Every structure is written in C-alpha cells, then in structure tokens.
Amino acid sequence: MAPDLVQSAAAQSTSIGQPNTVAMAFFFVFIAITLGITYWAARRTRTTEHFYAAGRSISAGQNGFALAGDYMSAASFLGIAGLVSTTGFDGLIYSTGWLVGWPVVLFLIAEPLRNLGKYTFADVVASRLKQTPVRLAALLGTLSTVIFYLIAQMVGAGTLIKLMFGLSYETAVAIVGAAMIAYVLFGGMIATTWVQIVKAGLLMTGAGVLALLVLLKFGMNPLALFAAASAKYGSAMLAPGKLVSIPLDTISLGMALMFGTAGLPHILMRFYTVKNAKAARTSVFYATGLIGVFYLLTFVLGFGAMVLVGPDAIRAIDKGGNMAAPLLAEYLGGTPFLGFIAAVAFATILAVVAGLTLSGAAALSHDLWTSVVRGGSARPGEELRVARVATFVLGVVAVLLGITFKGQNVAFMVSLAFAIAASANFPALVLSIFWRRCTTQGAVASMVMGTLGTLMLIYLSPVIQVDILKHAGAWFPLKNPAVLTIPASFLIGIVVSLVTSDAGALEQHEGSVREMVEGARAH
Amino acid sequence: MSSGYHELAARRWRVAIILTMAVIIIYFGFIALIAYRKEMMGSLIAPGLTVGILVGALVIVSSWLLTWYYVWWANSRYDERLAELKGRGE
C-alpha cells in the first residue's frame, strides 16, 4: 500500500506519464527536420563511399559534434543526472569514466585508423594480415558490441517514451525502429551524421538552458548549489558513497569505459567521414570538449534535481532515478519545458541507434559480403545494395529484440558492449597498428577470445547470476570483466603472434608504416 | 629508404604512449583516492566544495589539456616534419 500512496502523491504533482502535446509537437518537428535531411542526403548518396563515409566531406567541427552526438546516449544524460540526484558525488565517478576514453581514442586510434582504413575498423586490422579470418573475427566483435548496445537503447527507448509520452512500449520501439531505418537506409552516413549534429546541438542546448535555470536560483554559483544539497541532505552527498565499495569492480568498469570507447564500431567509423588524419585529430579535440562540458552540466542538473525536486520524488516516478532531468525541467519551466526535454531524450536515442545500425550494416556488407564472400571485389553497386539490405534486417532485428527484452533489466548491456569493444576490438587494433610482429593468428585469437571470454564472464557474474537468474551467488565476483579480459586479450594476441609466423604481415610492415604516417589510402 | 617515416612514426608512438599513461594515471588515481582515501575526498575545502568534487573536475579539465597538448604537438611538430618528408619526396 505505502509505495502506491507515494506513487499517486507524486503523480499528482507531475504530468510525466500523461500524453504531452508539447513533447509530441517538438518530437514531430524533430522527425520532420531529420526526414527532410534524409531526403536531401539520399540524393547525394550514390556510392558506397557516400553511404559509409559521407564522401569524406564532413568537416572536423561537424565531425566533432557528430562524435559527441553518437556518444552522448540517453543513458548518460538521464542516467547520470539521475545518479547524481540520488547519490550526489558518486555520479561524478561515472561521468569522468565516460570522458577519459576520448583522449585514448585521440592518442592511439584516430589517425592511424583514418590513414590505414576505408570504412570499418576491420580494414585496419586486416590491412597487412590475411583478409578472411581477420574480417570474420572482427565481425564477431562488431556485431556483439552493436547488438548489445542496440538492445539497451531500444529497451531504454520503449520504457522512456512510455513514461514520458504515454505511448505503448511496442509502438515506441516500432517508431524508433522505423525512423532509424529510414535515416540509414536512404540517407546513409550523410543523413546519420546530420542527425547526430542536430541531436548534439539540441542536447547541449537543452542541458545548458536547464543548468542555467538551476544556477540562476543559486546566484550563478555551483558551490552554493552543492552547499544547499549538503544542508538539505547531509554532507555525505558531496563525498564518496557506496558506489566504490568494491574498488576492483569500479576499476574494471573504468577500464571498460576508457578502452571501450576506442573500440566502439560506430565511433571508429566516424573517422572515415573526414578528409584526412589532421581533420580526424581535430574532430576528437572538439568532441572531448563538448562531452566534457556536457558531463559538467549533468552534474549541475543532478544536484539541481536533488535540491529542487528531491530524491524521494524522483525515485517515486522511476526507481533508477532516470526521470531526474525531466522532472527538473518541469519544475523550472512547466509542461512545455518538460515536453522539450522529453523530445530531446527521444531524439538522443534515435540518433545513437542510427549510428549503431549503420556500423553493423557496414560490417555485414563491407567485411562479410565484399571482403569474405566476394573475395574483395564485389560488382559495382552490389556492396551498396547489400549494405541497404543489412540495414533493413538489422533495424527489424533491433525492434524485435527491443520487444523481446521488454521489462528486462538491460542496463548492464551498455557496460557489456563497452567491455566487448575494449577486450575484442581495441587490443587487436593496437597490436596490428603498432606491433610489427603481430600475426593473423594472433589478431584473430585476441578478437575471438576477447569476445567469448567477455560474454562468458558476464554470464558467470552477479549481474546475470544474482540480479537476473536470482541465484544466491556468482562464480565470477565482478560485475564487469574488463580488468581481466583486456590484459588477457593483449596477452593472447602477443603470445599467439610470437609462436606463429606471418610472412605477408612482416613484408608489408614497411609500406604500412609509411601509409600510416603519410595517409595514402582513401582520400 | 623510408627511415624518415619510421622515425616519425616512432616519435608519434612515444608521445601517444606517454600521454595515454598520463590519462590512465590521472583517472585510476582518482578512483584509487575514492576507494582508499574516502575521508580526505569528503573533506570540505570551501562551503559546498569537497576535495573529491575538485579532483573530479580536475580529471575532466586535465583530459581537455592533454588532448589540447597532443593536437598542438601534432599540428605543429608532427605535421611540420611530415611536410618536410613529403617535400623531399622520400
């Protein structure tokens, strides 16, 4: 009885969960604009280079926004603001983790990737190794990352939209799927890039205005806001809490976030949309700036929601605290502002799934169809057709998975996707780029074991065994296996390379170094 | 024949490794402080500001500074040397 009373008391003071005309209006404007962009992009998408890489015509600044748009998911906007609003300081541990992957992308991956590849990260790993085994192993890592990330986004979309717009879960998932398929299928990378840019602009504006309205109540001084939180809910809100009770778990999640970013297929693919390595480099600089500002803003939003809305009212709407930012928007700007923020959250999910689907389709058509099935040379126009079929199939699969996993706890799937990206894709990329002795067998073993090892340890971990299967204990103690699987993947790659030999890889090393520096391929 | 390219690739690699190590030390240093120096991280420097919040904000700022430094280095030193190599037609 008691929780129901709290629920209804809170429901009276908020319009969340009821159809919101302003949200609908904003959302339809967003859909109309992005479909307009898609129509414009479709007329420019004639070749595979347009479809996968926007004809290499995206500027560094545009790509910086698009990278940020691809990366800032609803999970980080709503999730981190929610975490801060209910636990205070602990939310900061997450936001920093999400940011520190970007310098790693810049230092180790962005430029060599741009210079050595064409469309996918497998291009780079395979550049001086044997095509078929490397492409197949990379496909395993890519699809695992993309599918788990997609499930988390689709389920999040259904739940959020149901909560904020009052639509049914299935309708919400179907709308997201249909719009995402339309963007990618017709507009390819050009449309996807501009959807990301529009979304990043909306998200930064929404979070920025919201933070400004919060700070106006505290004399534009964030410290006054933190002090108010501490006065109301105790000084513990400004200090480390329970989140780091098992340090190794936090370190493991931190490693997954830090190195996973540099192994996410949809992020890596963005570096092929700019004209050279210098533009790739500069775009990461912009993205890091934008994402850093964004996480500082969510910290302010979280504390604002804590002080102005209150942790209990936030938990009453959603136990995970995900509605903190929308509730804060409603408190500060009434139903219209709530509608705007809700539409921004929807746009956020839509843009992320479009990027993911495109990278999955590129892996299927470029890596599997053209490179493996056709031995490297598909007939003209064929690869583009296959890419479009793959887009459609992946979109439908995403919708079906979203409906299948309805009501399941899928929050762990985002960190799982990061763990696979960090353990399967990242080590093979680093070894093949920087290590002369890396062999085909070494790279393949590292990618396959990285994927399977991560999946197995996640299955044996408390997130599946205890939280989902309700067993008393778990075989593997950590929630995230990255602390083990990243070093293991590197070790496997190195040991297998040392005991095998790959004459072709050694022979081509000289030319590969030169290409990496000079940037000969794919102008 | 292309020893200039090798040397330049090795130089970029060294800079990349040093900067990556710096990010790793900064971030995991932050986590270690939270795990093992909880009281210190929770102590107040000013009303509303704990050591932990300050250090967390510094992690974000240092990520910016490191990326800025790398881009500055690459745009000037690295690209200059690359232009030289290309100019010589090696």
Q: Does A519 or A339 have the greater pLDDT score? A: A339
A424–chain B Cβ distance below 8 A for any pair: no
- The pLDDT of A460-466, averaged and rounded, is 89
- The pLDDT of B52-70, averaged and rounded, is 96
Q: How many residues does chain A have?
A: 523
With a cut of 80, say whether residue A215 has pLDDT above it: yes
CA distances to A103, A434, A438, B22, B70 from A107, rounded to whole Å, are: 6, 12, 20, 11, 7
Q: What distance in Å separates residue A302's CA from the closest CA in chain B?
A: 14
Distance from C-alpha of A389 to C-alpha of A381, rounded to nearest angstrom:
13
A434–chain B Cβ distance below 8 A for any pair: yes
CB contact under 8 A, A289 and B23: no
With a cut of 90, say whether residue A381 has pLDDT above it: no
Low-confidence winner among A40-44, A46-50, A318-322, A452-456 (lowest mean pLDDT): A318-322
| Chain B residues near residue A232 by CB distance under 8 angstroms | none
Closest Cα partner for A521 from A107, A112, A67? A112
Q: How does residue A479 score in pLDDT terms, banded at 50, 70 and 90? A: confident
A35–chain B Cβ distance below 8 A for any pair: no
Q: How does residue A2 score in pLDDT terms, banded at 50, 70 and 90? A: very low
Say if residues A48 and A382 touch (Cβ distance below 8 Å). Answer: no
Q: What distance in Å separates residue A435's CA from the closest CA in chain B?
A: 11
Distance from C-alpha of A441 to C-alpha of A492, rounded to nearest angstrom:
10
Average pLDDT, chain A: 90
With a cut of 60, say whether residue A14 has pLDDT above it: yes
CB contact under 8 A, A288 and B23: no
Mutation target vs A (from B23, B77, B88; most A CBs, 10 A cutoff): B23
pLDDT of residue A8: 39
- The pLDDT of A451-471, averaged and rounded, is 90
pLDDT of residue A13: 64
Residues 271-300 on A with a CB inside 8 Å of B are: 278, 281-282, 284-285, 288-289, 292, 295-296
Q: What distance in Å separates residue A232's CA from the closest CA in chain B?
A: 12
Q: Residue A126: which region, alpha, beta or left (left: phi > 0; alpha: psi -120 to 50)? A: alpha
Distance from C-alpha of A333 to C-alpha of A330, rounded to nearest angstrom:
5
With a cut of 90, say whether residue A304 has pLDDT above it: yes
pLDDT of residue A133: 95
Query: A235-267, pLDDT tens digit by residue?
Result: 889 999 877 778 888 899 899 999 999 999 999
pLDDT of residue A93: 86
Say if residues A225 and B48 touch (Cβ distance below 8 Å). Answer: yes
Q: What distance in Å separates residue B64's CA from the closest CA in chain A?
A: 6
Mutation target vs A (from B19, B30, B34; most A CBs, 10 A cutoff): B34
Q: CA A297, A301, A307, A313: dihedral to nearest 10 degrees? A: -160
With a cut of 80, say whether residue B62 has pLDDT above it: yes
Distance from C-alpha of B6 to C-alpha of B16, rounded to nearest angstrom:
15
Distance from C-alpha of B58 to C-alpha of A92, rounded to nearest angstrom:
11
Query: A99-143, pLDDT tens digit by residue?
Result: 999 999 999 999 999 999 889 999 999 989 999 999 999 999 999
CB contact under 8 A, B70 and A106: yes
Distance from C-alpha of B39 to C-alpha of B35, rounded to nearest angstrom:
10
Distance from C-alpha of A363 to C-alpha of A138, rounded to nearest angstrom:
8
Query: A144-159, pLDDT tens digit by residue?
Result: 999 999 998 998 888 8
pLDDT of residue B90: 52
CB contact under 8 A, A251 and B28: yes
Say if residues A315 and A3 touch (Cβ distance below 8 Å). Answer: no
pTM for this prediction: 0.92
Closest Cα partner for A13 from A213, A312, A259, A258? A312
Give the nearest chain B residue to A246 (CA atoms). Answer: B35
pLDDT of residue A484: 96
With a cut of 60, say whether residue A172 has pLDDT above it: yes
- Which one-letter DSSP state was computed for residue A379? P
Instruction: Return the bridge partners of B50, or none.
Output: B44
What is the secondary structure of A396-438 as a DSSP string? HHHHHHHHHTTTS--THHHHHHHHHIIIIIHHHHHHHHH-TT-
CB contact under 8 A, B24 and A258: yes
Q: Using CB atoms, pick whichever of B48, B63, B64 lies closest to residue A226.
A: B48
Distance from C-alpha of A474 to C-alpha of A462, rounded to nearest angstrom:
5
With a cut of 90, say whether residue A449 has pLDDT above it: yes
With a cut of 70, say whether residue A6 has pLDDT above it: no
Give the nearest chain B residue to A88 (CA atoms). Answer: B53
Give the nearest chain B residue to A92 (CA atoms). Answer: B56
CB contact under 8 A, B42 and A239: yes
Distance from C-alpha of B44 to C-alpha of B57, rounded to nearest angstrom:
15
CA quadruple A345, A287, A248, A151: dihedral sign:
positive
CB neighbours of residue A402 within 10 Å: 28
CB contact under 8 A, B19 and A107: yes
Give the nearest chain B residue to A292 (CA atoms). Answer: B60
Q: Does B1 or A307 have the greater pLDDT score? A: A307
Strands B44-46 and B49-50: antiparallel
Q: Say which residues have a Cβ less than 8 Å from residue A132's Cβ, sequence separation at least 6.
A: A371, A372
Q: Residue A259: which region, alpha, beta or left (left: phi > 0; alpha: psi -120 to 50)? A: alpha
Q: How does residue A230 score in pLDDT terms, banded at 50, 70 and 90? A: very high
What is the secondary structure of A14-58 as a DSSP string? --TTS--HHHHHHHHHHHHHHHHHHHHHHTT--SHHHHHHGGG--
Q: Using CB atoms, pick whichever of A240, A278, A295 lies closest to residue B41.
A: A240
- The pLDDT of A173-197, averaged and rounded, is 94
CB contact under 8 A, A107 and B20: yes
Distance from C-alpha of A482 to C-alpha of B77, rounded to nearest angstrom:
35
Q: What distance in Å separates residue A516's CA from the closest CA in chain B?
A: 8
Q: How does residue A162 score in pLDDT terms, banded at 50, 70 and 90? A: confident
Q: SS3 string of A155-213?
A: HHHHHHHHHHHCCCHHHHHHHHHHHHHHHHHHHHHHHHHHHHHHHHHHHHHHHHHHHHH
Q: Does A488 or A22 have the greater pLDDT score? A: A488
Q: How does residue A160 score in pLDDT terms, banded at 50, 70 and 90? A: confident
Q: Using CB atoms, pick whichever of B52, B70, B75 lies closest to residue A239.
A: B52
What percentage of chain A reaches a pLDDT higher than 90?
64
| Chain A residues near residue B31 by CB distance under 8 angstroms | 93, 244, 247, 250-251, 254
Q: Using CB atoms, pick whichever of A240, A258, A284 lies closest to residue B42.
A: A240
Q: SS3 string of A324-370?
A: HHHHHHHHHHHHHHHHHHHHHHHHHHHHHHHHHHHHHHHHHHHHHHH
Distance from C-alpha of A326 to C-alpha of A323, rounded to nearest angstrom:
5
- Which one-letter DSSP state was computed for residue A126? T
At A108, list the tokens. 């180790």
Residues 156-185 on A with a CB inside 8 Å of B are: none
| Coil vs helix vs strand at A480 | coil
Q: Say which residues have a Cβ less than 8 Å from residue A157's Cβ, sequence separation at least 6.
A: A74, A172, A173, A176, A346, A349, A350, A353, A402
With a cut of 60, say whether residue A186 has pLDDT above it: yes
Q: Using CB atoms, pick whichever of B19, B47, B71 lies closest to residue A285.
A: B71
Q: Complex ipTM, two decimals?
A: 0.94
Query: A23-41, pLDDT tens digit by residue?
Result: 888 888 988 999 999 999 9
Q: How many residues does chain B have?
A: 90
Q: How does residue A422 score in pLDDT terms, banded at 50, 70 and 90? A: very high
Distance from C-alpha of A230 to C-alpha of A238, rounded to nearest angstrom:
7
> CB-side exposure of A370: number of CA atoms within 13 Å?
24
Mutation target vs B (from A115, A517, A518; most B CBs, 10 A cutoff): A517
With a cut of 70, say whether residue A227 has pLDDT above it: yes
Q: What distance in Å separates residue A384's CA from the closest CA in chain B?
A: 35
Sequence letter at residue A37: I
